[in-house]
Amino acid sequence: MIPPIASRFVAGETAAAALEHARETNDRGIGTILNLLGEHYHERDPADADAAAYCALLDDLAGTDLRACLSVKPSQLGLDVGEGVFRETLARVVEHADERDRFVWIDMEDHTTTDATLAAFEHHARERGNVGVCVQANLRRTPGDLDRLADLPGKVRLVKGAYDPPADVAYRDRKRVDEAYRESLERMFDRFDDGVAVGSHDPAMLAHAERLHEEYGTPYEIQMLMGVREDTQADLAADHEVWQYAPYGGKWFSYFYRRVLERKENATFALRAVLDG
C-alpha cells in the first residue's frame, strides 16, 4: 500500500486506482497521462508483462469517457534487452491504442537511447499518428531533432531534461539550459503547425510559451507532473489545455524518492509528513 506521504506523487498501485485518479483530475479540467512505473528491464518477460498491462489499461479506458492517454518508457518495453524487443512491444501497445482511439506518449530516457526512441516514434507517427515523443532541451542535438520531427504527424513534448548527460552532448549550466529551452520552444511554435506540448513547471517558460502562442498562433498544451504545482495546474486549466503526468504501480518508491530530491519544497513536504506522523 502506498503511504499518504507518497500518494501526492503516485496515483495508486493498481490500474483501478489510476483510473479513479484520472476521473478526479478530469473533474478539475485536466487531462491525465498514465504511466505504469517500471524501467531498465534486462530480460524480456517483464517488458512483455508491462506491455500486456498497458493493453489491459487501454481496454479499461475504452469503456469510459475519460480524457486520458498513456506514456511508456523505452527501457520499460525492452530497449535494454534489444532494440528489436522494444520495437515489438511498443508496436503492440500503439496498435492496441489506435484500435481504441487512444494516444501513446513515448518518454525520452538518457541520451544513449535518443536515436532508438526517435526512430520508433517516427515509424509509428507515419504509420498511425496516435503517438507523441519527448525531447530534452539540454541536449545539444535537440534543434536538429526538432527539424527532423517538424513535418511528422504526432506530437512532441519539450522538457528541460532530468538526466545527467556528459558535457560534450549536453548543456549543464542551468542558465544555458533555460536558454536552450526558450530557443527550442520558439523553433517548435514556428515549425509545428499541429501544436506544441510544453513540459515545464517553470513560470518563466510557461509565460514564454504564452508569448510565442500570441506571436505564431500555434496551439499548445501544458504538461506537468502529479503532485507538483497542482493549484497552478487547476488555475491554468481554466484557459489552457493542461495534462497531468500521473504514474502508478507497485514500483513507486524510487519514483517518489526522485520527486522528493528534485525540489526543496518537495523535501520539505516529505519531512513535514514524517514529523506529523
Annotated catalytic residues are 107, 157
Alpha carbon distance 196, 13 (integer Å): 31
Residue appearing with cell numbers 538518457: 110
Which residues, including other chains, have CB under 8 Å from residue 111's CB and lie 6 or more apart?
A: 136, 139, 163, 165, 169, 170
Q: Say how many C-beta atoms besides its own lie within 10 A of residue 214's C-beta.
A: 9
The beta strands (E) that lie in 181-237 are given as 196-199, 220-225
Strand residues in the chain grouped as ranges (E):
31-36, 68-72, 104-106, 131-136, 155-159, 196-199, 220-225, 241-248
Going through 77-125 in order, the beta strands assigned E by DSSP cover: 104-106
Rounded to whole angstroms, the Cα distance separating 217 from 211 reads 10
The helix/strand/coil state of 170 is strand
3-state secondary structure of 134: strand
For residues 171, 109, 189, 187, the Cα torsion angle rounded to the nearest 10 degrees is 40
Q: Which residue bears the cell 525492452?
A: 78
The C-alpha cell 528541460 sits at: 160
State how far the Cα of 138 lies from the Cα of 258, in Å rounded to an integer: 19
Structure letter (DSSP) for residue 112: G
Instruction: Residue count of the chain, please give it.
Output: 277
